[in-house]
Structure 1
Amino acid sequence: MSELEDKYADIRPYNDDEVTASLSRLINDNAFIDVIAKYNLPRFLSAVPFITRPLVRSQLRKKWGSVSTVEDVQNEVAQYLNKLVKRTTSKVTFSGLDKLDPNQAYLFISNHRDIVLDPALVNWGLFQYKMKTVRIAIGDNLLQRPYITELMRLNKSFIVKRSTKAPKEMLRALTQLSSYIYDSLISGNSIWIAQKEGRAKDGFDQTDPALLKMLQLNGRKQKKQFGDYIKELKIVPVSISYQYEPCAIAKAKELYHKQHHGEYTKSAGEDIASIVEGFSAAKGHVHLAFGEPIESHCDSAEELAKTIDKQIVDSFYLHPGNYIAGGCKKEVINSPDTITFEQRMASVPDELKPLVLAMYAKPFHRKTEINTNNCEH
């Protein structure tokens, strides 16, 4: 398909006929090869590129030799995720997936705690339930290196142009994005998108109405009312809950800096470091609660945001740390979990402790607003 025929060429994931060329570009990208070496080979060896690069390239050619379609890529990712889940979690559990129609495409809108793991674990759940994996919305701010763009587009990610600032260009980009999401859904491809731009660094999960207004841009073009159009999208809220908050100290540092110095500017490579930490750090028990498709008539973005938030907050799985940080009586927590959480908190720098505790406490307090009996969990 030529670029003229493909109106989403600059944002969509790769198709089957583009996989082989993309893998070839990755194998020939020194920056990518050096990253693989850094995280997979002994330090003394990875520091000598003229030795490691041919070695890594040879291994990747063998490993990827039979990979030629998007489904092949998804199967490779599933194998990697399986290892990651075994290595870094005590367990990953799901609720609500059994109530969804495996033949229906959904727009999954979830809270956002980890850059890559959130959609990866949504896919992991769908994969377990023999459902098609999602197309993933990813901000262009993360695509700092060509190899990241390749990896993301190979893994069914589409690009959200956040860096566009001029009003006309921004409207054009958002309209294209809205149209792409709709066309994906009607062609049977589910979508994952975070409920707001960026991760919830303070533990406060809240849907941004601006996101929902973006979704409606295509509905407006079709001359459809907000409520009618939204029903067509089959929105399913997803609540992701980590026993141990991903990148908690890094998030707290950013919040602390903002509190004391105003703006916070990320250093080069900071998002990549967060992705790596999210993959490698212990996460304990992770639970993903898939909600019910929103059928109620929401006539505005603000009303729909509240409906999504209620499902996400209500179905958020509270772990021991959430109860402890929330000030719930410790009798409801078994002692090993209490000790483990307190040991983790002991390693947090003193000035960041209140911020990290607040991350864990926020979901507990928000649920308490809905259900006053949380302490009897």
Structure 2
Amino acid sequence: MQKFDAIRPFYDAEVNAALQAVANHPMMKALMNFAYPNVDEEVWKAQLLRTHSIRDFQINFAYQAVQKVLEKSSDGLSTSGFETLEPNTSYLFISNHRDIILDTSILNVCLFDHGLVMTASAIGDNLVKKDFLKTLSKLNRNFVVQRGLPPRELLESSKLMSEYIAQLLLRENRSVWIAQREGRTKDGNDATHSGVLKMLAMGSDEKNVLDYFKKIKIVPVSISYEYDPTDALKMPQLMAEAREEIYIKEKNEDFITLLSGIIGQKKRIHLHVGKIIDTELDQIQAENDNTNKQIQALAQVIDDSILQSYKLWPTNYIAYDLLHHTDTYANEYTEAEKSLFERRLEMRIDGNNEVMREGFLAMYANPVINQLKYRHASQA
């Protein structure tokens, strides 16, 4: 399968050589000292050099590292929906996207804990420019999404990725994680981009694209953090967009965001996996014979699942009330929780910049606003 070499993770036969190449890297040492603070370097290094598969690396090293991140930077993880999934079955998880590394890492920890197939996960090529990070991502079964290409090359890249995803799901029985849109959601408005679904459809060998979507078992995933550790880091881009300016990233911005997401305080985290989208596809097919409309309808079904299953925290309700100068949701939080959130707002945002303040609050408030829309729609 050489055609996928530019984007695929390591094959198991390549894992040990890759680990030998990075075993003495300062970042590997830092990672291992973090995950195993009471284990001597000789011990973890010997174990690392005995590792010959991605699964062994994920279970013996990555799993522990994620548990340590959760222990140090959160007040705990809760989950729901996993009981609806079958073991030894591959799924296409389409998820809202808050954190570069943790969204997928937490999902894989949960899948492993429930005895389910772990994922190969999409990662932007902007995040694996450093050699060590590229190696680490390939050890974690990430495949590369090539970004910023000219239109013709982008089309070729999308086709290659769609074929690779089909290969994983249908021939290797490997689950896949992909974000519902390119890049993380910055403003709290989670929406599935039809371009993602069109890319997936390129891998179809079915006459009707909805038959293919049924075959690959789409499962929407909703992940919510009580505090977004990268909230303030998202503001410059949101401000540029508000001014209708093109946002240019600072050097190493992605790397700083990646680290902040891992070590920053998140408080509570909830991850929900929805039901497989199946009968909904039959309904879409009955109502639309136009492929574009079918894809838009599927995007809406995914959004419905993600937004309605999104766990709302006190921070979301506080932000809504502050943004709208109301106490509508005062019974959803305590005064202490409100004071803590206001302190965070004060520390992270220039109080004189009203646009930035509103942007920060909207990031937390939008999930409440989105659920309100669904409640009103269901009551109409």
Give the structure-2-normalised TM-score: 0.86
Q: CA deviation at 1:61?
A: 3.5
- In structure 2, the CA distance between the partners of 1:23 and 1:337, relative to structure 1 (3 Å rule), is same
Q: Structure 1 residues 40 and 100, CA, compared in 2 at 3 Å: closer, same or farther?
A: closer
Change (3 A) 1:78 1:369: same
Partner residue in 1 for 2:13? 17
Residue 262 (str. 1) matches residue 262 (str. 2): no
Distance 1:60 1:257, change over 3 A: farther
- Asked whether 1:323 is paired with 2:317, we answer yes
Distance 2:347 2:225 in 1: 18
| CA distance in structure 2 between the partners assigned to 1:348 and 1:150 by the alignment | 34
- Unaligned runs of 5+ residues in structure 1 are 42-55
Alignment correspondent of 2:228: 245
1:34 CA displacement:
6.0
Whole-Å separation in 2 of the counterparts to 1:78 and 1:40: 14
- Matched residue, 2:296: 302
1:170–1:255 Cα change, 3 Å: same
Check conservation: 1:112, 1:240, Cα contact below 8 A: yes
Output one character per residue of 1:121-180: Cα deviation in whole Å (capped at 9) or x when no partner: 11121122121211001111212111111110110101112233241x322221111111
- Evaluate the alpha carbon distance shift between residue 192 and residue 37 of structure 1 in structure 2; reply closer, same or farther with a 3 A threshold: closer
Runs of at least 5 residues in structure 2 that lack an aligned partner in the other structure? 35-39, 286-293, 322-327
RMSD: 2.4
Confirm or deny: 8 A CA contact 1:27 1:57 kept in the other structure.
no
- The answer for the alignment partner of 1:52 in structure 2 is none
- Alpha-carbon distance in 1 for matches of 2:206, 2:187: 38
Conserved 8 A contact 1:325-1:361: yes
Aligned partner letter, 1:361:
A
What percent identity do the matched residue pairs reach?
34
Aligned counterpart, 2:345: 345
1:168-194 CA-to-partner distances (Å, cap 9, x unmatched) read x32222111111111111121000000
- The aligned amino acid for 1:276 is L
In structure 2, the residue matched to 1:272 is 255
SS in 1 for 2:4: coil
Q: 1:311 to 1:81 in 2, by over 3 A?
A: same
Kindly indicate whether residue 359 of structure 2 is the aligned counterpart of residue 355 of structure 1: yes
**Counterpart secondary structure, 1:371:** helix
3-state SS in 1 of match to 2:2: coil
* Aligned residue runs from structure 1 range 43-58, under 5 A: none
* Structure 1 residue 210, shift from structure 2 partner: 0.5
Q: In the aligned structure 1, how far is the partner of 2:213 from the partner of 2:251?
A: 38
CA distance in 2, matches of 1:147, 1:353: 37
**Distance between the aligned counterparts of 2:57 and 2:370, measured in 1?**
39
Contact 2:19 2:49 in 1 (8 A): no
Classify the secondary structure of the residue corresponding to 2:164.
Answer: helix
1:37 positional shift: 5.6
How far 1:60 sits from its partner (Å)?
6.6
Which residue does 1:69 correspond to in 2? 53
Partners of 1:302 and 1:157 in 2: CA distance: 27
2:4 corresponds in structure 1 to 8
**Displacement, 1:335?**
3.2
Q: Secondary structure at the match of 2:238?
A: helix
Structure 2 counterpart SS, 1:138: strand
What amino acid maps onto 1:366 in structure 2? N
> Contact between 1:33 and 1:57, CA under 8 Å: does it hold in 2?
no
What are the residue-to-residue correspondences of 1:132-151 with 2, within 5 Å?
A: 132-151=117-136
Could you tell me whether the CA contact under 8 Å between 1:141 and 1:163 is conserved in 2?
Answer: no
Q: Does 1:370 align with 2:374?
A: yes
Residues 282 and 6 (structure 1), Cα distance of their counterparts in 2 relative to 1, 3 Å cut: same
The answer to whether the Cα contact below 8 Å between 1:209 and 1:305 also exists between their aligned partners in 2 is yes
Of 6-15 and 289-298, deviating more is: 6-15
Contact 1:242/1:287 (<8 A) preserved: yes
> Any conservation in 1 of the 2:89–2:117 contact (CA below 8 Å)?
no
State the secondary structure of the residue aligned to 1:179.
helix
Structure 1 residues 261 and 232, CA, compared in 2 at 3 Å: closer, same or farther?
Answer: closer
User: How far does residue 372 in structure 1 lie from its aligned partner after superposition?
Assistant: 4.8
CA separation of 1:79 and 1:57: change in aligned 2, threshold 3 A: closer
Output the amino acid matched with 1:365.
Answer: I
Q: Which residue of 1 aligns with 2:190?
A: 205
Do the aligned partners of 1:140 and 1:163 also contact (CA within 8 Å) in 2?
no
CA change 1:233–1:117 in 2 (3 A) is same
Aligned to 1:313: 307
Q: 1:313, 1:363 within 8 Å by CA — same for their partners in 2?
A: yes
String of CA shifts for 1:231-281, please: whole Å, max 9, x gaps. Answer: 111000001100001300010122123434711111221111111001101
Does the 8 A contact of 2:188 with 2:367 survive in 1? yes
Superimposed CA distance per residue, residues 86-138 of structure 1 (whole angstroms, 9 cap, x where no aligned partner): 11110101110011112221000000111111111111211221212110011
Q: Distance in 1 between matches of 2:314 and 2:6?
A: 44
TM-score (norm 1): 0.87
Preserved CA contact (<8 Å) 1:113 1:246: no
